[in-house]
Structure 1
Amino acid sequence: MRKSVRASLLAATCLVAVPAHAQDASVDERLDRLEALVGALIERLDQQDTMNTEQQAEIAATTEMVMAQTTAMRDEQEQLAAQVGNVAEAQEQDGFSVGNTRFTLGGYVKLDALTLRTSGGQLPDGAITRDFLIPSTIPIGGEASGWDTDFSARQTRVYLDTSTDLGNGTPLRSHVEIDFMVTPGGDERISNSYEPRLRQAYLVYGDWLFGQTWSTFQNVGALPESMDFIGTTPGTVFDRQPMIRYTSGNFQIAAEQPETTITTPTGGRVLPGDDTMPDIVARYNQGGDWGSVSLAGIVRALHVDEDDFGLTDDTALGYGLSLSGRINVGERDDLRFMATAGDGLGRYIGLNIVNDTAIDAAGDLDPIFTYSGFAAFRHWWSDDLRSTIAASYFRADNPVLLTSDQVTDESWNAFVNLVWSPATRFDVGLEYMYAERMLEDGRSGNLQKVQLSTRYAF
């Protein structure tokens, strides 16, 4: 009995001696305690020539406990070592390192083949208004167009991420991203070349972000899957701009680039560039297995100087709230939504459908109240086939005496698509969209579009 107990204890000692590289601090402490216990038991065996039945049973039970704990800890250490190995392998495959900085390249290649028609006038050949939906540019009052077809790879984008080890436990990260949308370049006759443009460029250190990225007022995670560049544009908060953002848990607050857009009495747009205070945005995010929601609020100081209109200086308050999110439905489906309302939000909604404010004869600013929103449902037909159906709406309360009746009063759109993923990160999608815009004078125009897109993300 004594020999078998000693053999078990020695085996336990061997199990305790797991590789040091697979340990963490808490596991090390537990192993030290077990080693001490094993040593005490062996010493007790050596000091006793005879043992009664109760002593033998006590030592046997203790030995069994030690064996069980050490076996469990060995399994834990093996799992930890495997995880460490997997992370190291992933790091080797994902990007490359130069000194203490790791670089990662990503993006996607996308081709859009689309055909569209409008009820109230022809959209110019080569204009960005034919690349994706811009609600404020839907023609009104002209002759209906035919079906115009365009092919484009302009949405293709590339980004570079970096993460630098500063030696203090907090990495310094950066993100730079470009694409080729809304930029000039070659025509459609020969080269189809387009100049790159900066989409995002920011750095993150701890809880702080500095640079250009999506506005804190916008919830990118709520956007539905669409072949169009945005999809539910009339009802969507959409803005990228420079900012300073602080994040603490679920809460974010940011000071973002200000810019006041003004509607003149003739319905034109003026960008005075007289802003003195940043736009202040606060946002709270909450998520779980059920999905996620975000509530964002914004306060703006809309401003114009007398050197723009020859009138008195004036500042007006702009403000707004936006509730958005994604709710999981069943195992894979989801419902996405956004609802936004406020005064002086013009440039944040639907690609600036209306302006932030109008100006009266005395030079005073009159912020324009707007409300908007969208809802989208995505359903998975199978592991590689899915569809999204979505609709959005926008409405402005224009001060018509100051803006004229030729500005947009309402806009809405709806689309449905079918997306097939024959391979990982490779999508082929077909989408039909209908969009409409109404002026304050009651006239309207619509746009219909059929779009086929292929995208490979790398």
Structure 2
Amino acid sequence: MKSLCTALLSILFILPARSQSEAKPNSELPPGWWLIPRTDTRFKFGGYVKLDFIHDFNPIASPDFFDVSKIPTDGSKGQSSHLHAKETRFNLDVRTDTKVGELRAFVETDFYGTNGGLRLRHAFLEINGKWLAGQWWSNFMDESMIPNTLDFEKPGAYLFARNPMIRYKHSISKDAYVAFAVEEPHANAQAPAQSGKFENPLPDFTGRYRLTKPWGHVQLSAFAAKLVYRFDTGDMDKVSLFGGSASGIFNIAQKDRLFYQVAYGPGVARFRGGMSAALDGAGELQALTDLGYTLGYERHWTSSLYSVFVYNHGEIDNTEGQAPNAAAIGSYAAADLIWNFTEKAFVGIEYLWGMREDLDGSDGTANRLQLSLRYSFP
């Protein structure tokens, strides 16, 4: 069967037409990689298909993922069941060895676009592992410790952003590096009463330091940004935004790991989909100071059965000019059991709990049960 597939791919010009003396044979490539004909460029398709069954025991205005900011605080009640496959994703990884080092292009999409349409997740060009240009995880967050939950949404106060950027990464030792980036800014803030528009005069500036050891890793991150509201009369109101984060993973036993993150600063919510500024008592812009922390544990019961436990909490230092129903506190908790019934597929069940409290003290909670089935390829 393998020989037949190889022959068919050769007919379709997937395999190179050059001799082995001119290009590396496909047999020398890692599994899943192919050579483009008459080049030294290799590529790989990847992704997975995932189906989620979701039952909500309480109302929440985000049926496809568990967003605690969408929990109603008006005392409303109700239950709902929902199935979807929007998390299904595809990616293409292309690499070429050149005189300046390895060139890499990566594109990934899923189906969380409008009406279930394709949405761009990642698209970047990387040069020799140092320069990156395109859309990727924000340099301010720690992508290595994204909680491996069945729920697509990550904890509300967890730093989680994909931004267009230009990033430079520099190794300072065999196990440590620093990275600096300019990233696409996002003007999510409460507008003053006087008509005008928000402006981002500068990109976001982000930096990180990462130390990786056999026991795990530690990352320290920081960002700085500026937000401007230009009134129609020509005057401006502006605020400075900045913040820091500490995160990491401790490897425990053979596969278990403890992960954590703490983020704090005026405007940190910019990197988790929240508001970065609001109005003070005088109606002027003021950066919203935000605190968020995450603690989780991934426990491997057997070689094919594991669980993830995660708790996340966030608090916003609200301003006097915000509406009474402005979000003030949010908490998120998840616990699951996942069985890898084959090397490429798993089935899992997860319980999710969330709480939202508003500035006026009103609050609401949500409880969800989620069942998931996923098959990864290649």
**Same fold, TM-score > 0.5, yes or no:** yes
Matched, 1:90 2:17: no
Superposed, which structure 2 residues align to 1:80-119 within 5 Å? Answer: 88-91=27-30, 93-98=32-37, 99-118=39-58
Alpha-carbon distance in 2 for matches of 1:238, 1:271: 29
User: Aligned match of 2:367 in 437, 448, 451?
Assistant: 448
- CA drift of 1:285 comes to 0.6
Alpha-carbon distance in 2 for matches of 1:244, 1:111: 34
User: Aligned match of 2:295 in 369, 372, 375?
Assistant: 375
Matched, 1:134 2:59: no
Distance 1:396 1:320, change over 3 A: same
Could you state the TM-score of these two structures normalised by the residue count of structure 1? 0.72
Matched, 1:163 2:83: no
Distance 1:410 1:265, change over 3 A: farther
Superposed, which structure 2 residues align to 1:288-327 within 5 Å? Answer: 288-307=213-232, 310=233, 312-327=235-250
Alpha-carbon distance in 1 for matches of 2:111, 2:255: 33
* Structure (1/2) with the larger strand percentage: 2
Give the aligned partner of residue 263 of structure 2.
340
- CA drift of 1:455 comes to 1.2
Partner SS, residue 181 of structure 2? strand
Superposed, which structure 2 residues align to 1:21-40 within 5 Å? Answer: none
- Match of 1:402, as an amino acid? G
Give the aligned partner of residue 240 of structure 1.
162
- CA drift of 1:92 comes to 6.8
Alpha-carbon distance in 2 for matches of 1:311, 1:444: 40
User: Aligned match of 1:256 in 183, 188, 197?
Assistant: 183
Paired residues of 2:282 and 2:321 also in contact (CA < 8 A)? no
- Match of 1:420, as an amino acid? W
Paired residues of 1:391 and 1:414 also in contact (CA < 8 A)? yes
Instruction: Answer with 1 or 2: which has the greater Rg.
Output: 1
- CA drift of 1:291 comes to 0.7
Partner SS, residue 377 of structure 1? strand
Superposed, which structure 2 residues align to 1:205-216 within 5 Å? Answer: 205-206=127-128, 207-216=130-139
Matched, 1:153 2:76: no
Deviations 1:8-34 (A, max 9, x none): xxxxxxxxxxxxxxxxxxxxxxxxxxx
Deviations 1:53-108 (A, max 9, x none): xxxxxxxxxxxxxxxxxxxxxxxxxxxxxxxx999533474233232322211111
Alpha-carbon distance in 1 for matches of 2:44, 2:321: 51
Alpha-carbon distance in 2 for matches of 1:344, 1:368: 6
Give the aligned partner of residue 3 of structure 2.
none
Alpha-carbon distance in 1 for matches of 2:242, 2:67: 24
Distance 1:198 1:173, change over 3 A: same
Count of residue pairs brought into register by the alignment: 346
State percent identity of aligned pairs: 30
Paired residues of 2:216 and 2:249 also in contact (CA < 8 A)? yes
Alpha-carbon distance in 2 for matches of 1:333, 1:271: 52
Deviations 1:334-390 (A, max 9, x none): 1011100000122212x32xx111135876421000100110111111111111111
Paired residues of 2:60 and 2:70 also in contact (CA < 8 A)? no
Deviations 1:185-232 (A, max 9, x none): 3xxxxxxxx21011111101131100011100111111221110134x
- CA drift of 1:296 comes to 0.4
Structure 1 unmatched runs, 5+ = 1-84, 124-128, 186-193
Distance 1:311 1:95, change over 3 A: same
Alpha-carbon distance in 2 for matches of 1:311, 1:440: 32
- Match of 2:102, as an amino acid? P
Structure 2 unmatched runs, 5+ = 1-23, 172-176
Paired residues of 2:262 and 2:292 also in contact (CA < 8 A)? yes
Paired residues of 1:95 and 1:105 also in contact (CA < 8 A)? no
Alpha-carbon distance in 2 for matches of 1:137, 1:286: 36
Alpha-carbon distance in 2 for matches of 1:421, 1:236: 27
Matched, 1:200 2:122: yes
Could you state the TM-score of these two structures normalised by the residue count of structure 2? 0.86
Distance 1:392 1:138, change over 3 A: same
Alpha-carbon distance in 2 for matches of 1:311, 1:102: 54
Paired residues of 1:235 and 1:338 also in contact (CA < 8 A)? no
- CA drift of 1:311 comes to 6.8
Matched, 1:416 2:346: no
- Match of 2:256, as an amino acid? D
Alpha-carbon distance in 1 for matches of 2:251, 2:281: 51
